[in-house]
Structure 1
Amino acid sequence: MTAPTALIVVELLDDPLLGPGDPSLADAMLVYLYAAGVAADLGDEAPDIRRQVEKRTPELRSWTDDYLRADTDLRARMWRDGTGLGALVLDQAALACFDLVPTLLRRTVPHLASERARRRTCAAAAVGALARHPSALTQRPVLLEQLMSVADAAQSAHDLATILIAIGHLGGDTRPWLTDPNAGVRGCAALASDLAGDDAADRVLLELARSPREFGESFGDMAPPLQFQFQPYQDLLASGLRRVGGAGRSTPGAKT
């Protein structure tokens, strides 16, 4: 995940000549921007990472040049060279994405109003990740209103669950969906971090722990929400189950 690639993607996203016969191309690009938002979600660590990168910039440039020239065996050894430069190169790339997030978010938000349901869903996932950036703090109330409208217009349980995860990422209120008839929708609503300690959300998570297959099966032939394709949904759901003492049980949606 690199900032230059994300910038190319967001430029192509608005190109009217992009795949006129295949609207799924733009959807895939929004999914890529979601992944960029995840990579750029540095939180309070961004200032410290920036200091480390700036302090060792010449070393990072040299390490990267050597890495690009190296063969496979040498590259593997370079990751274990004890300098920590490899990890810092990755941090440098994440920081570049972090700095680009305001641009990516601005170009993504209009797609929440797309006529295509799938496009709106992919845009919601991207906004849910990108708007966690500190620069978007004052925008979040308005963005949450837009995401709520997208959720109300969702045309499938898969789309709704995806949008609810985005709402939860931004601290929105997903309580209205804790009683949804679909187990996957209820589960994704209950995962919102702001619902930690909420009795109704905890009951939903306990239900998932008792019936682990129900979550995955609730989406029919569809895969679980797209966010779980980038962060294994077993880990995301496990973090929710730990809230209610369910750690160590089979993870909902996992193949058994």
Structure 2
Amino acid sequence: MADRRKDVDWSRLFHAEGPASDTPRRLAALLGDDADAFVDGYTHLWSTLRREGKAWPATAPTALLVAELLNDPLLGPDDPSLPDAMLVYLYAVGVAADLGEGAAEVRSRVEVHAGELRAWTDAYLSADAGDRVRMWQDGTGLGELVLDQAALACFDLVPALLPRVLPHLASERARRRTCAAAAVGSLARHPSTSAQRPVLLERLTSMARAAESSYDLATTLIAIDHLGGDTRPWLTHPHAGVRGCAALAPGLTGDDVAERVLRGLAGSPRAFGESFGDVAPPLQFQFRPYRDLLTPEGFLRVDEVGRPTPGSAAT
């Protein structure tokens, strides 16, 4: 990990709190035994490297480091859940990177404005906190285009991230397999993975059939949704949350059973979350737009304009 950190010019990057020169030190703490430093590094990972599902310039190099952490024995040797958290982070990166066929248009805009983006970034990195806030409102739109450029960097990185995640589908730990399934569900939407997708869907469907908990099953079903798979067999599952996640699949638009399930969710979105008991809803519901469904009007919006598709789940 140390060598990778040195390979990146962090002085040219920024995250939600400003310049990313502090990122290497704070990420290194994830492999240390200082509890306070670890908490700081973990908080930094989640609270400063993405914004409402968008990538920052520091996100792509951080994601590559996180992928390498997955198999590092120094990552939480006494807490086997930490690699699970890294997989959830990679799920979020996959969501931010889900540009699909729109990547070509983003790339074109970035290339046309390359010089302006470098100048804007230089000014941003040298500005104080107050001026950085004002730069987002300068009327040029360059700040948002810098974030589009960051998403494009994540998009270009996905083919390198997916192979790091796939082995974890065979983990001995059920929850790690589930977190890996979620990450695969977002990362494998990349156009370069189209040939792999049928095999991955078969693997995820097999995992869903073998899932031992409603949480693991529902999370895996949303991963199948992301890849355009068939979740119809779970529309009549006895667990309400599982039925709801199955019904969100875009391929079931117009299906009478799926529509009844969604109308039921619209009537009581809180019941959906509570159906998982002491466990939180599937991890995808930590992020937009799935997170937005857990409101009184959330599933009503599904009724009005259609269920969220994997594409909308990434915007």
Normalising by the residue count of structure 1, what TM-score does the alignment of the two structures yield?
0.91
Distance in 2 (alpha carbons) for counterparts of 1:241 and 1:191: 13
Q: Within 5 Å, which residues of 2 pair with 1:184-195?
A: 184-195=241-252
Q: Give the counterpart of 1:104 among 155, 158, 161.
A: 161
Match status 1:224 vs 2:288: no
Distance in 1 (alpha carbons) for counterparts of 2:260 and 2:197: 28
Residue 241 of structure 1: CA displacement?
A: 4.5
- Residues 35-80 of structure 1, C-alpha deviations (whole Å, 9 max, x = no match): 0100000122100110111111121112112112212221111111
Task: Identify the residue that residue 29 of structure 1 maps to in structure 2.
Answer: 86
Match status 1:77 vs 2:134: yes
1:93 is paired with a residue whose SS is helix
1:125 is paired with a residue whose SS is helix
Task: Identify the residue that residue 154 of structure 1 maps to in structure 2.
Answer: 211
Q: Within 5 Å, which residues of 2 pair with 1:45-194?
A: 45-194=102-251
- Residues 206-238 of structure 1, C-alpha deviations (whole Å, 9 max, x = no match): 121233332111000111111110115353576
The one-letter code of the counterpart of 2:138 is: D
Given that residues 206 and 246 in structure 1 are in contact (C-alpha distance below 8 angstroms), is that contact kept between their aligned partners in structure 2? no
Indicate the larger mover: 179-188 or 147-156: 147-156
Unaligned runs of 5+ in 2: 1-54, 307-315
Distance in 2 (alpha carbons) for counterparts of 1:9 and 1:234: 24
1:224 is paired with a residue whose SS is coil
Indicate the larger mover: 127-136 or 9-18: 9-18
Distance in 1 (alpha carbons) for counterparts of 2:207 and 2:264: 27
Given that residues 79 and 86 in structure 1 are in contact (C-alpha distance below 8 angstroms), is that contact kept between their aligned partners in structure 2? yes
Indicate the larger mover: 62-71 or 117-126: 62-71
Q: 1:233 to 1:243 in 2, by over 3 A?
A: closer
Distance in 2 (alpha carbons) for counterparts of 1:87 and 1:75: 13
Task: Identify the residue that residue 17 of structure 2 maps to in structure 1.
Answer: none
- Residues 72-103 of structure 1, C-alpha deviations (whole Å, 9 max, x = no match): 22111111111111001000100000001011
Root-mean-square deviation (CA), in Å?
1.8
Distance in 2 (alpha carbons) for counterparts of 1:220 and 1:75: 43
1:207 is paired with a residue whose SS is helix
1:171 is paired with a residue whose SS is coil
Q: 1:242 to 1:195 in 2, by over 3 A?
A: farther
Q: 1:111 to 1:234 in 2, by over 3 A?
A: closer
2:73 is paired with a residue whose SS is coil
Distance in 2 (alpha carbons) for counterparts of 1:80 and 1:245: 33
Q: 1:211 to 1:240 in 2, by over 3 A?
A: closer
2:195 is paired with a residue whose SS is helix
Q: 1:49 to 1:167 in 2, by over 3 A?
A: same
The one-letter code of the counterpart of 1:24 is: S
Residue 9 of structure 1: CA displacement?
A: 0.5
Given that residues 42 and 98 in structure 1 are in contact (C-alpha distance below 8 angstroms), is that contact kept between their aligned partners in structure 2? yes
Given that residues 191 and 240 in structure 1 are in contact (C-alpha distance below 8 angstroms), is that contact kept between their aligned partners in structure 2? no
The one-letter code of the counterpart of 1:95 is: L
Residue 152 of structure 1: CA displacement?
A: 1.9
Q: 1:184 to 1:4 in 2, by over 3 A?
A: same
1:138 is paired with a residue whose SS is coil
Match status 1:14 vs 2:71: yes
**Aligned residues: percent identity?**
73
Aligned residues: 247
1:16 is paired with a residue whose SS is coil
Residue 243 of structure 1: CA displacement?
A: 5.1
Q: Within 5 Å, which residues of 2 pair with 1:174-253?
A: 174-236=231-293, 241-242=300-301, 244-245=303-304
Indicate the larger mover: 118-127 or 74-83: 74-83
Indicate the larger mover: 41-50 or 54-63: 54-63
Distance in 1 (alpha carbons) for counterparts of 2:302 and 2:253: 7
- Residues 113-161 of structure 1, C-alpha deviations (whole Å, 9 max, x = no match): 1110010010000000001100011111000011112212222111111
